[in-house]
Amino acid sequence: MRSMVTIERHGDVAVIEIDNPPVNALSNALRQEVLAAVNAVIADGHVRGAVIACAGASFIAGADIREFDQPPGEVVTGDICNAIEGAAKPFVAALHGTALGGGFEIAMACHARIMAPDGSVGLPESRIGMMPGAGGTQRLPRLAGAMVALEMVASGRHVGAAEAVKLGLVEEIATDLRKEAVVRARALADAGHWHVTAARPVPPVDRAAFDAALAGIRKRARGAIAPGAAGEAVGWALDLPFAEGLARERARAVELRGSAQCKALRHIFHADRRAARLPEGSGRAPGAWPVKHVGIIGGGTMGSGITIALLEAGYKVTMVETSLSRAASAEARIRAVHARQYGAGRLRQAAIEDRLRRLTYTYKLDRLADADLVIEAIIEEMPAKQEVFRALSAVVRRDCILASNTSRLDINQLADQVDAPERVLGLHFFSPAHVMRLLEIVRADRTSPEVLVTALAVAGRLKKQPVIAGVCDGFIGNRILGRWWAQCDFMLEDGAFPEEIDVALEGYGFAMGPYAVADLAGLDIAWAGRKANAATRNPNARDVKIIDWLCEQGRFGQKTGKGWYDHGGARRAVDPAVHALVERASAERGVARRKVAPEEIVARVLAAMVNEGAKLLAEGIALRPSDIDVALVHGYGYPAWRGGPMHEADRIGLDKILATVKTMQHDGPDFAPSALLEEMVAAGRNFASLNQ
């Protein structure tokens, strides 16, 4: 096997180069080689200083997550940090790309840090249910202060070069990184003294403010353990000697690594990447078609949001509206978003001008003749969308991909309107489209693999999380949403009130309960859908009419001041009038109201999700159980630290989920147990066995 670590002499300074593509992840084998190289440099009497550098596009971007289910290796990252920090000669870290997790911990143990202009550092362990375990929570507050360290370890955010210098995390920014690092190592050796991070005192901090900030982090984490645990460890740096804080950090990190939350977040980490590729066994993946020019049909809320996302990703965009006045309205929306980003300091004026130069507004469809991709984002009505696709087919090239931003309509009916149906698919963005991460890529019956791969590539460039779905009403996310929301309505008739269901699901980890979300989105949207689908509603299905009664009274949610809640005050408030409507629904169905416990609320919602998810898998709508988890986590607020409903079902036991599903059969044919779920329980299998 080739060595992943080499030592190169620059006179009396040694450069230790790490080369473990693609991101120099700290595998057990690499840690052993790095420690051996560090010890060799320390023992070399001809070397007065050293530089730690990396080949490729990045410094060490963290640990090798594939090894997290294995016991710790012979050498841990802390061993490398301790060897560097205790050396009798200076070590300088030359940082480029991303220096994350254990990579940043090694850099902080060095005696100086120099960063390339494109570099960034961070401790993102809390995002996968862990915390730093090689001194990150103890060294970071000594470099940047406890409040900065608290925010960084809890959020896991990356800090760019300019901010890193400002915070004291690196000493300087250099374009000729290794040359400057060698110069600094030699200068420190000549001076005969250098800073040892572990020996630095933590700068004074208002302890009450620190404790309040930590309490806020725990509250915002909504049940996730790692952010608060990492923040608490930063507090140990304020109270304990370095060695004791280091030992406690290591012990807590090992404990978290084996926790259910860490396993769930690692599942989502792998599921995200799995969802972004075609399944194994589908043959050799074709190459993506080039996409440079994108057309948008419709400049409403969704069309404008999609346009902003495309501009941010560097695409040339042409927006087509039905008139100049509607195009002007779209332009105003897009400029307003950029103005807010500028005002918040997230975007410079030059970047805004560059984006807007790449955007053209028109009402002439033939301006899309050279487009590589066109996304239709008009009203959610099939006849109107079919008319657009017929018109596009006569204008664009045959290899131009045609996509519909629909949340539920049949993509096959749109493909029927064009002369090359294999280039048609759905791209279901979530609102606001320039913010929300999930993108459902809907494959029609004739969508070609080349078009799917191209859509996945576009999603990656947009920094969206793609999930491939088949054609059905609601695709993956909205179809599951419809089932678990129906169960919530049924529980209202059974005896619960809206606020009790919201509290139970928020306690489970959702950011907002379904009725609070409904008031935020607007009840009139769901009401319009109910009326549109009334003719096709199964007469044997249980139907709760409370939303109809609310909307008939003009209670459309926050925008009208009243919905499921009263929004007349500073906060949403329980409304006795809503309770009266709920009790009326129970009476009209002849249901004797009873107490619905929070545990039952959660169990029925989860069972509804999992049962429908199993049906989606059996029908081929979802490719993998993990894709369902990705969709629910990134698009519907399912708590990531639980890993998604299918992962959570495996943890609880599919037999228990099935038992709950069977108690719901009387609610109508939509809640009949999935044959796949029954088969898996009988065979003793779990959903994880279906991921590929």
What backbone phi and psi angles, to 5 degrees, belong to 567? -110, 25
Torsion angle of the four alpha carbons 46, 51, 52, 54, in this order, in degrees rounded to the nearest 10: -110
Cα–Cα distance list, 9 to 31, 40, 47, 87, 562 (Å): 21, 12, 8, 18, 73
Plot region of 70 (φ>0 → left; ψ -120 to 50 → alpha; else → beta):
beta
In the annotation, is 105 catalytic? yes
In the annotation, is 619 catalytic? no
d(CA 300, CA 314): 21
Q: H/E element holding 6?
A: strand 5-10
DSSP line for 520-557: HH-HHHHHHHHHHTGGGS-TTS----HHHHHHHTT--B
d(CA 502, CA 427): 30
Which of the following is catalytic: 17, 33, 85, 125? Answer: 125
Sign of the torsion angle spanned by Cα atoms 471, 475, 480, 483 = negative
Tokens coding 353: 């001008």
d(CA 45, CA 53): 21
CA neighbours closer than 13 Å in the CB half-sphere of residue 665: 7
d(CA 458, CA 327): 25
Decide if 96 contacts 17 (C-beta within 8 A): no
Any idea which residue has 């018109």 for tokens? 391
70-77 own/partner pairs: CB under 8 Å, 24+ apart:
72/254, 73/28, 73/31, 73/32, 74/28, 74/32, 75/28, 75/31, 75/32, 75/35, 76/31, 76/133, 76/134, 77/26, 77/31, 77/102, 77/105, 77/106, 77/133, 77/134
What angle is formed at CA 146 by the lines to CA 142 and CA 152, rounded to 5 degrees? Answer: 100
CA neighbours closer than 13 Å in the CB half-sphere of residue 42: 15
What angle is formed at CA 338 by the lines to CA 356 and CA 97, rounded to 5 degrees? Answer: 85
CA 458 to chain centre: 17
CA 546 to chain centre: 34
What backbone phi and psi angles, to 5 degrees, belong to 473? -65, 110
Which of the following is catalytic: 33, 85, 105, 249? Answer: 105
28-32 own/partner pairs: CB under 8 Å, 24+ apart:
28/64, 28/67, 28/73, 28/74, 28/75, 29/4, 30/4, 30/5, 30/64, 31/73, 31/75, 31/76, 31/77, 31/79, 31/80, 32/73, 32/74, 32/75
Catalytic residues: 105, 125
